[in-house]
Structure 1
Amino acid sequence: MEYQGKVLVTGATGYTASQVIPGLRERGVAVRALVHKIDERSAKLEQLGVEVVQGDLLDFHAVSRALQGIRSVYYIYPILTPGILTGTAYFIQAAREAGVRNVVNMSQISARRDAKSNAAQDHWMAERMLDLSGLEVTHIRPTFFAEWLIYSDSIKAQDKVVLPFGEGRYAPIAAEDQGRVIVSLLLDSAKHASKIYPLFGPVEYKVQELADILSEELGRPIVYDAISIETYQQQAAALGYHPHFIQHISNVAQDCRDGLFAGTNTAVQDITGREPMGIREFIRKNRSYFE
């Protein structure tokens, strides 16, 4: 059945949104993209036939304007930035006023009432706010992205994977697979309303095992530098990261060490009909980031 209406994608130049938008456009769905600034990335979206609007999720009037004429929303609040509860309150009010029908909300696997991470606890609270909004809402809670391996240039520059995850295990999930899930949830919203989907890649690993696979695929030794959480905090502060982000990563690193990120499931295949990408395929598709 052909989708009728327009979809708003927030965080439109991020990893998952950059997969969601082409997926929607391939299906002929009209898309409006909310971006923080107009630049070459937003220009690429316009080339896909996307309507681009500039605004901030902490600006109620900008959010309200962006939601006019919108049926469905992919809502993602940037993890680097404090303020998700205020932004979600603004979003809910503006969405209700605009007659938005359904929302797919990007949360995180560590979102829970008693989370030590402020951001993770706030994501849990934002989920509850959306649940009470009267909107048709589906939450996704991914484990660590496969893209964690390319967030810094340590592999390219030093042949090291530098992470504070200790011996913790997780099943990396690529943004590409999350994008397919999000598109499916947006376009078949009634089937998935009021559900929470943890999202995992196909196989869980220790970071040392990921480093071994990188070594095999790239043809050079890649070392896992298992830094302590305290060392991470010092390095992140020296690089100028926001204290909100440092507090979050420090606590989810401990969550990973404690097994909270472990496990896998069949959600990606169940929702999209296709298995998620394995880590070797991810490395091969993104080889340029490592060389």
Structure 2
Amino acid sequence: MILVTGATGSIGTHLVRRLQRDAVPFRALVRDEAKGNALGCDFVVGDFDDEASIASAMEGVDRLFLNAGGARPAPGEQPMVRQQKTVIDAARSAGVSRIVKISVWHAHEGGRLAEGAHWVIERHLRESGLAWSVLQPSGFMQNFVTGAGSFTADGRLLGAYGDGAVSYVDCQDIADCAAVLLTGPYGRGETFVVTGPQALTQAQVAEQISDVLERPVEYVDLSPAELSAALRAQGLPGGFADDVSALSLEVASGSLAATTTTVQDLAGRPPRTFKEFLTANLDALRAALPSSSG
């Protein structure tokens, strides 16, 4: 039995559908009963901050998909670290045999924001004594249809990556890789970087969105300082805004530009291109992007 955490998120929903399709026994962990009902699968209501609910969710489980947890932190806080450590410890106590964790590319000691937080969690997982595999994805294609792609009210794409390219990956491809690791003997004790088939600059992203929508979408490149100021204006803590700004400099220098063969190697097929993703999610793209651009 597999327990899927983050089951209603961008990766989790695809993983649920994949496991349903393959008739693999699993249970989804959700915080909202209505969302659990909408999944149409066996589910349990629980919360990473409620240790009793996590222990209950682990009953009969031998494999765990570890994702999600952690709202945007206040200064000095990393709730995701505490939460995922709790889940790992509960899995060990319940006799879970293997964990497949979603991390972040370039997780490292002392890293900013998620890079540092996931490094701490990865270390805890490695030291847990459990069998494990880690998936470190590049940027999500889904960000451009969920509102996280930074479109302005008048339909322009904002960013601070300059000419830096990102090998965006479809969350369905990440989920398919996770399904292979959860249901087979592959990848124990291994970390996999998961990318799409090509790296695109934000200007190229805007061009492909324009092609699919058949109307112009402009990309506006901000400086890191302008990005930090914009985030502060939205009420985000100054330290958080500065960290996001610093990470944008790393992306601009090419930190997310490489591509890997992970999807082909694990899922046995090529990863989806950005144009294919946009075409398949055209309605969601239209809903996310105002029509007044240009």
Deviations 1:22-56 (A, max 9, x none): 101111112211112222x32211x2xx2222222
Counterparts in 2 of 1:238 and 1:182: CA distance versus 1, 3 Å:
same
Q: Secondary structure at the match of 2:107?
A: coil
Distance 2:242 2:122 in 1: 20
Cα contact 1:161–1:223 (8 A) shared by 2: yes
Report the equivalent of 1:204. 199
Distance 1:280 1:63 in 2: 39
Structure 2 unaligned regions, length at least 5: 73-77, 287-294
Report the equivalent of 1:42. 36
Which aligned runs of 4 or more in structure 1 are off by greater than 4 angstroms?
153-157, 240-248
Give the CA deviation at 1:250: 3.0
Report the equivalent of 1:184. 180
Give the CA deviation at 1:241: 5.1
**Structure 1 residue 262 and structure 2 residue 253: aligned?**
no
**Structure 1 residue 24 and structure 2 residue 15: aligned?**
no
Structure 1 unaligned regions, length at least 5: 1-5
Distance 1:154 1:252 in 2: 16
Report the equivalent of 1:110. 106
After superposition, where does 1:194-273 map in structure 2 within 5 Å?
A: 194-240=189-235, 246=241, 249-273=244-268
Cα contact 1:172–1:200 (8 A) shared by 2: yes
**Structure 1 residue 158 and structure 2 residue 149: aligned?**
no
Counterparts in 2 of 1:65 and 1:241: CA distance versus 1, 3 Å:
farther
Letter matched to residue 107 of structure 2: A
Report the equivalent of 1:69. 60
Letter matched to residue 38 of structure 2: K
Report the equivalent of 1:52. 43
Deviations 1:190-226 (A, max 9, x none): 3210000001100111111111111122111111111
Deviation larger for 137-146 or 55-64: 55-64
**Structure 1 residue 10 and structure 2 residue 1: aligned?**
no
Letter matched to residue 285 of structure 1: A
Q: Secondary structure at the match of 1:122?
A: helix
Report the equivalent of 2:89. 93
Of 119, 124, 142, the residue aligned with 2:119 is 124
Distance 1:155 1:96 in 2: 42
Report the equivalent of 1:3. none
Distance 1:240 1:156 in 2: 17
| TM-score (normalizing by structure 1) | 0.89
Give the CA deviation at 1:141: 0.5
Cα contact 1:103–1:136 (8 A) shared by 2: yes
| TM-score (normalizing by structure 2) | 0.88
Distance 2:83 2:214 in 1: 45
Q: Secondary structure at the match of 2:186?
A: helix
Cα contact 1:212–1:222 (8 A) shared by 2: yes
Q: Secondary structure at the match of 1:105?
A: strand
**Structure 1 residue 283 and structure 2 residue 278: aligned?**
yes
Deviations 1:112-136 (A, max 9, x none): 1242x13211101111110111111
Cα contact 2:69–2:84 (8 A) shared by 1: no
Counterparts in 2 of 1:96 and 1:154: CA distance versus 1, 3 Å:
closer
Q: CA RMSD in A?
A: 2.1
Report the equivalent of 2:290. none
Letter matched to residue 66 of structure 1: A
Distance 1:204 1:54 in 2: 38
Distance 1:257 1:144 in 2: 13
